[in-house]
Structure formats: C-alpha cells, structure tokens
Chain A
C-alpha cells in the first residue's frame, strides 16, 4: 500500500511494510548494540512484534576497521508475528567498509545500504582487504541495492561544533545520528530515546544535550535531504492483549531464578565464574541483592559449583551457571550432587565448541554433555529454553524440579537466545505457582536397638513417592547426619561397597530422574496437525526459525507439523506416541545430530537429521527448503 503524505516539505512517499529486518554493523566501539537496542525498544513500544540478534566479535576491541572487529545487531520487527531475527536484511547500516564486506551476503536484492562515508576511506578499505584503489561504493558491485552514502562523522562533528567536546567524544555520538535518521525513515518517535538519554546521562547533563542534538540532527537529515523519498511504516502487530516488556534471555534466566527463590521462600545463591555468554546472568543477579540474592564470583568453575552445593546443603537454592567449557569443569561436582541427592541448578548458556571453540557464537552441541558428561551412571534432569522469554519459564521449572525432587537439574540455553530479545507478556507475581519446600524437622523412622529398645532415628535417604529424600539442613536439632560422594546404602546413607547395593542404587537414582516425567507437562504439537506426513522436531533456540518455516509451509499446503521439546530428560511421556503419528521426523539442530541420537535410542524412530554447525542460527528459509525437499 502506498500513500503520499502532505505533511513533509517535499513529496515523500509513505510505504507500509509488514516486516523489516535491519542490520546495524560497525566496529565494536561504534555503539552498534546501543543503537540497535534503542531502535528495538522504540519499536516495541509502538506495538511491533520483535526479535533481535546481537553478534559480537570475541575480542572486546578487535582492531578497528577490520573484518574481525565487526559487531552486528540484527533486528526483525513487524506488524505480523515475528519468531526469528530474520534470514536476510532489508536494510543494512554499515559504519565502515569491513562491516559492509562481512555482511553484504545477507542483504536482500534491492535492499538498502546506509553507508557511513568516513568508514570507506583508503585506510578502511585497506583494513577491509579491498584491493588497492577499489571501493565497493564506487565499483558498481552494489548496483542491485539502493545505496545511501551519508557522511555521518562530518555531519555529527558539524552539529556539535562549539559544544566544547573533543573530537573523540563528538565522534562517539555518531551512532545517535544514525539512530535519528532511521527513526525518521521508519516513522518512529524519538521520545523513548530522549528519555533513555536523560536516564543514562543523569550525572552528565552536558551529554544529554549533545546526544539529543545529534539524534535530532539525524532525524532532520531525513526530513530535509532530497535523496530520501520514501518513509516506511510498520504498524502494531496483532499480539495477545496485555502488558509487554522487552526481555533478553540471560536477563530472563536471572529473573526466573529469583522468582523461584521467592516462590519457594529460599535464599538464592549463585556461584559462578565469568564466561561468555553466561556472565550476564551474574551481572543481572548481582543487581538484585534486595531479593536476598547472594552472588559469589568464585576462583574457578569448580569452586563455583561447589559453593552452590555447599549453599544447597545449607538449605538454600544453590545455582551455578556457565557455558560448555565451564560445565566440563563442573562435571565431577555435578556427580557429587547426584550422589548427595540435593537440589542444584546448573545453567549452561551454550556456545560453539569444543574447547574454547566459538565463544561468542551460538550452538546446541552440549546436549550430550548435559545428559552424559559425567563419570559413572549419573543421570540428571535436563530442560531447555526455546526463546529469550522462555528462559524465564524454564529457569523457574529447573528450580521447581530440583527442589521438589531433590535432584540436580541442568537448564540449557544458548548464545542466540541468551543475547537475543523479544517482547514478553510478563506474568504477574501472583500467577506464578508456589514451590513447596518441606525441610525435615524430626526423625522419620523408629529403629530397634540390640537390646530391644526402640529409638527414633533420622534416615537421610528414606524416600517419598517421587523417590526424593528428605532435606534436613544443618541447624536442625536431632537430624545430624553425614552425606557424601561414596556409594551408600539406601535409607541410612551409610557407606556401602556391597555389589548388589551399588546396582540397586544406580537404578534407583535413574528411576528417580525418570519419575520426574510424571510431574512435567506432556508434549504438545506447537503448530500443524496431530497426525500427518512430516513432523519437525526441535528443541532449544531453533524454535523461532522452525516456527516460521513450518508456518509458511503449512500456508503453502504442505502437510507438516512442529513439536518443540523443552523437557529433554526425562522426555515427556507422550513423545513416543506423537512420533508414531508421522511418516517422517525431521530434526534440525545446531549440532551434529545429538538430540536425534537420543530419539533414535529411546524410540527407534528413523529421524532425518538437518544440521547446521556454523555458530549462527538456522534461517527459516533453509529450513523451509529442507521441509520441501523431504516432502517430495
């Protein structure tokens, strides 16, 4: 739909779009993440559905202007429901030549490039490894795109001339110029950013003034410059009624942990060691100590998990968080928690592996580590979050299961959803269920002495219907007892090397984890028919891409359904019967087929693997193609 507006000084076309993908790219020092976040928040407030995907280099300040130093922020917003950050961009804002070179492949034909001219000087071209004398803006290679060259640096400097700021400081606000211009282009208000600036620079009022000036200059640049003849409008999306906020995955995980502590009446103890991309959980939790949150930055990953175990022994909600390499170091201690049969929540924000791998990139390759990565028969409960806001629910679930079943639970998220954001219709505190904690307070059995007298005794490994044992915390009179990592006798917890007992206990601990399936929701079909030709079975952060691909395939008449597993171990009880209802099961995973192995093992279902191990999420386009291929 195209309408002309009379409001602007010149003839500017106003074009309505359903959805738009913008990629902001530049040096990691260019303020890309901030620009992206501000545009996101503004669009969220306008009622668009949104998904974002920040993409950082592993180095904090990689050499300026180089391909290695390119930082990106991809934003997908629309008047329709949005499930991914988008396969290809409609608009690319590039602050330098390297940013263009690194991302041009993902720009749609006919897409818009907004290039910061200063970033295409001889030095930048050389750093971006263009041949001497070659300039992509001049050589015709971008002819199939609409290229707008904007001298952001010069215009920003002109705007702040005489402001008293040095050139370095002035240049730092050039991201505001870009933001202002894009806000104009997409008919968005500057107000949310203006109030952000006021809050952000409360203590430096002069920066509120200068940033505001540059932001407005960017907006007015669009308004007055003849070259820009089209503005775009993306209306509010049809979202369920309610109050929304924007949420990032790691933030949601932290809030889920706090909610679980609050709802169980326990103190949250988070023992951790800094690691990408999990550290933001610590940063978030450390801000909320007024929730009686205790954060402990340990000397290493092992100490981190062990302090959480100590806290849990003391009757607190003990949680540790890390990413794959850190989880590997925690393995022995997780095994201890399995033997102690105490609550422990382990968060793994997965990243590309093995070893250091791709620290800032995403992958789902720690599933088998979560399930099996310990010595001995060592089952734990594993749950996985599907989207940024789902991290809240699954973090809460991890705590609930761990506390109610006295069992370690691992929550799997990954770099994509941990750093990605989406609108979240957040629950009210009263809608969140209580977690019932029953600390043991008195002896739980009567035993007979040799002389026939009976005494009350506390048996630390006596079990309930869930097979969970009583949680008796130090300070409880009369329940003094010892627990440890050595094999023990059931009920008494006494050390036992008896062969029969060991086998019995191994199976008991397995059965205890298996019984958790009685206390988690059954598997649902997310989209499509209950029975049919193709089932796309996913888990974790691939949710959005699969959702989009399956939705579009269904719209095109393909017989395909989507189920997304969140309870990875034990699996939902009805999953096997769901699998039987489909001719083909397609399993897209950002690994080499790990969940597929589990499905084949447990259900003997011949799965079709579709794997992407590139450190980046699936595009819905490639998934669609695959669905169509197997539909033939």
Chain B
C-alpha cells in the first residue's frame, strides 16, 4: 500500500478534475448551475495560478453551494454577505484569486448593499451572479430580477414590483468590468470567466441561468437555437454590433438613440462598432433591457459591456500601509504604549 499526497506534485499540469471536490453535487438534475460549475472547473487550470491561491466565497442560495464543489479554498457564508467576506479576504490577502458566487436574491436583494459597495471600492475579486430570476432554494418566490407581473408562489396574482436592471445597477455603482453570459453557451461563458479573471478590479459577470424547476425557460428566447440569433446581441470588441437569424441586422446610433437597421440598407461604417472601453456606450448597452415580447424591442446584449482601468481598493490599502511603514518605520509597541506624555513615580 502506498501513501501519496492528495494533491498533485507542482510540476504536474492540472486539469478540470483537480478542481472537482469529493462532494456530491446536489443541484436539481437539469439545473443550469451544472454547466457553470463545469466551465469554472475547466478554466481554472488555464489561469496559471496555483490551486491553493484560489478561493471561492458564496452566500446562501442554490448558486451559493458552488464552493463545496470546487476543490479550492472555499467559504460558504451567510445570505447576501459573500461580497463582504470576500472584501475582507482580498484586502488582507491580495495575492489570492478570490471568486464570489451569488444568486440574484443573494447578490441583488439581501446582499444588494454589499454588492454596490464592492463595486464602488473596486476590490479585485470576480463576482459571478447566477441570475435565474427566481428564489430557488426557498422553492419559488419571485426575486428582484423577476419581471413585473411574475406569477410565483409568493405572487399568485402577479408581482407588482419592478425588477432591477442588474447591469445598469452595476454600472451606476462604478463597476469596472461588466459582462453577461449564459449557462447554455459554454464557449462564451468560459471566455467571459477568463476575461473576468484577467481584469484587475471588481469583475461582475452576470450569468443567465435556467432554474428548470421553478422558472423553467425564463431565458429561452436567448438560449434556444430557434430564437437565439434573433434575440441576442453578441458583442465583440472592435466589431460592429450585428445580430439576427442570418446576421442581417445591426445597431446604428442615431445621435444618442440606438436603432436597429438592416445591414443591407446601410454601409458597414454606419454601424455601431463595439468599444468595451467606452463608458457612455456601455451605458446605452446596459439599457438594452426590453421585454423580448415587446414589439420593436432591442436584442439582449451578451459579452463585455465595459472594461475600465482604475486603481483597486486592495492595492490602495496595502500601498497606504506600506507607505506609512516606510515613512514612520515599523510600529514600535513600546513607543505606542508609552504615548506622548508619561510621568514617573519613585
């Protein structure tokens, strides 16, 4: 009988399997989370960082079980607070790659405050928001991402509150990396995860994720072959915004107003060329949020809306401490205890 260590030797190239924990995955069969987990496990070996330097932090909800299934460091915290836990971890351990997994209830409702403040501070973590527009773990109540009129267990006559436009919120909170992908497009999802990792600052990746038990088909117009091309706008940096069953439509800016045009009717130069570094254009793109049932609606954009370089809070915090140590010297406990004024009793 041989004794070996549980982790491979450092020279060994890691595979997705090395990121698979020994825990049984307990999501419902057919849940979109499976695909997201698979893509995460697949890209991890390609990030070029040691496995032990990766930490997944989650709150509560179906999505938040994610850390248990990743063979990295993981913390399954409390409802809505993963972003705060991750903030404390990243600011004190900046060398770690910290990933936050949250559902739409976790990240936008109970944890909404922490989400916007994470974005405001631009702490260098990657937040994946699994948006299924429903509360799954509590068995089917509407969420702050559910569309108006949603029939759910808690809204049998239809919800009467408006949903968040999550990415517009993220942009408003100062997000420096804003992207959207979907569980049903593994190639796109993997590339978005990698880009999220590469970004230095808070990366916010919204992932449309199907809850096949409580909200089946919420995103099917975007994910199913029959409608996907017509309803989605797959953005690529430097390329014109084109969509449609036969890539026959494009977006053109008429002043500040985006309009849908037939490519045949315009010259290629007239089309909106996607620039992921343009904040004003990103603002317009996040507003492509129409109900797909609405006549004349805009297609829903996927890909990277915005990338911005901006100093991060974690860097600033550590730089400030280093600067003060440099200026004042490392703290002397005796001097601290002594204070400014003392007196002696003999």
Interface residues of A (CB under 8 A from B): 41, 44-47, 192, 236, 239-247, 255, 258-259, 262, 267, 269, 271, 288-294, 296, 298-300, 302-303, 306-316, 318, 332-333, 335-336, 340, 426-429, 432, 443, 446, 452-458, 473-486, 494-495
User: Which residues does chain A contribute within 8 Å of B2, judged by CB atoms?
Assistant: 453-454
Contact B337 A311 (CB under 8 A): no
Looking across the interface, which residue of chain B has its beta carbon closest to that of A269? B92
Chain B residues with CB below 8 A from A240, complex form:
345
**A residues within 8 A CB of B88?**
269, 271, 296, 306-314, 318
Check A477/B52 contact, CB under 8 A, given A258-B336, A306-B84: yes
Q: Quick one: given A336-B77, A483-B74, are A292 and B331 in contact (CB under 8 Å)?
A: yes
A456 CA / B6 CA spacing, docked (Å)? 6
Selected from A46, A262, A269, A481, the residue in CB contact (under 8 A) with B331 is A262
The minimal Cβ–Cβ distance linking B317 to chain A, given in whole angstroms, is 6
A306 to B100, CA, bound (A): 14
Contacts of B245 in A (CB 8 A): none
Min CB distance, B13 to chain A, in Å? Answer: 16
Bitwise, B64-83 to A at CB < 8 A (1) or not (0) is: 00011011111111100100
A476 CB to nearest chain B CB (Å): 6
B294 nearest CB across to chain A (Å)? 36
Stretch in B128-136, B153-161, B197-205, B319-327 with 4+ CB within 8 Å of A:
B319-327
B213 to chain A minimum Cβ distance, whole angstroms, is 20
Q: What residues of A have a CB within 8 angstroms of the CB of B262 in the complex?
A: none
B234 CB within 8 Å of chain A: no
Beta-carbon contact of A241 and B345 below 8 Å:
yes
Q: Are A429 and B333 in contact (CB under 8 A)?
A: yes
How many Å lie between the Cα of A314 and that of B72 in the bound state?
Answer: 13
Residue contact A258 to B333, C-beta cutoff 8 Å: yes
Q: With A236-B345, A290-B328, A478-B6 given, can you name 16 additional A-B contacts, CB distance below 8 Å?
A: A46-B343, A239-B345, A290-B325, A292-B321, A292-B331, A303-B81, A303-B113, A306-B114, A310-B85, A318-B88, A333-B81, A453-B4, A454-B2, A474-B54, A480-B51, A495-B68
Given contacts A290-B330, A299-B113, A316-B92, contact A474 B73 (CB under 8 A): yes
Contact assessment for A313 and B113 in the assembled complex, using a CB-CB cutoff below 8 Å: no
User: Can you report 10 A-B residue pairs in the complex whose CB atoms are below 8 A from each other?
Assistant: A258-B333, A269-B92, A310-B75, A312-B88, A336-B78, A457-B6, A474-B55, A474-B96, A475-B52, A482-B75
Are B1 and A452 touching (Cβ within 8 A)?
A: yes
* Chain B residues within 8 Å of A271, by CB: 88
- Tell whether B267 is near chain A: CB-to-CB under 8 Å: no
| CB of A191, distance to nearest CB on chain B (Å) | 11
Interface size of B by CB at 8 A reads: 67
Contact assessment for B91 and A484 in the assembled complex, using a CB-CB cutoff below 8 Å: no
- Number of A-B residue pairs, CB cutoff 8 Å, is 239
> Which 5 pairs between the two chains have the least Cβ-Cβ distance?
A310-B88, A484-B76, A307-B88, A291-B331, A306-B84
Known: A290-B330, A314-B88, A456-B6. A309 touches B77 (CB 8 A): yes
Whether B337 contacts A427 by the Cβ 8 Å rule is yes
**CB pair A429 B52 closer than 8 Å:** no
A486 to B65, CA, bound (A): 10
Q: Which of B81, B90, B96, B333 contacts A306, CB < 8 Å?
A: B81
Which of A244, A247, A296, A474 has the most chain B CB atoms inside 10 A of its CB? A474
Q: Report Cα–Cα, A310/B96, bound state, in Å.
A: 12
A430 vs B81: C-alpha distance in the bound complex, in angstroms?
40
B55 touches A311 (CB 8 A): no
Is A310 within 8 A of B57, CB to CB?
yes
A215 to B330, CA, bound (A): 38
Given contacts A245-B338, A455-B6, contact A482 B68 (CB under 8 A): yes
A303 to B96 CA separation, bound complex (whole angstroms): 20
B307-325 with Cβ < 8 A to chain A: 317, 320-321, 324-325
A311 touches B341 (CB 8 A): no
Chain A residues, Cβ within 8 Å of B7: 477-478, 480
Instruction: Judge whether B246 is part of the interface by a CB distance below 8 angstroms.
Output: no
Cα(A609)–Cα(B330), bound, Å = 49
User: Judging by beta carbons under 8 Å apart, are B85 and A307 in contact?
Assistant: yes
Closest to B68 in A: A482
* B143-184, CB < 8 A from A: none
Type the 1/0 row for B3-24, where 1 means its CB is closer than 8 Å to any CB of A: 1111100100000000001010
- Chain B residues with Cβ below 8 Å from A309 are 77, 85, 88
CA distance A428 to B333 in the complex (A): 8
Please indicate the chain A residues that have their CB under 8 angstroms from the CB of B339 in the complex. Answer: 245-247, 426
Distance between Cα atoms of A443 and B344 in the complex (Å): 53
Residue of A nearest to B53 (CB): A475
**Interface check B269, CB cutoff 8 A:** no
> Which residues of B sit under 8 angstroms from A243, Cβ to Cβ?
338, 342-344
Shortest Cβ distance from B6 into chain A, in angstroms?
A: 6
- Residues of A near B4 (CB, < 8 A) are 453, 455-456
B:291-319 near A, CB below 8 Å: 317
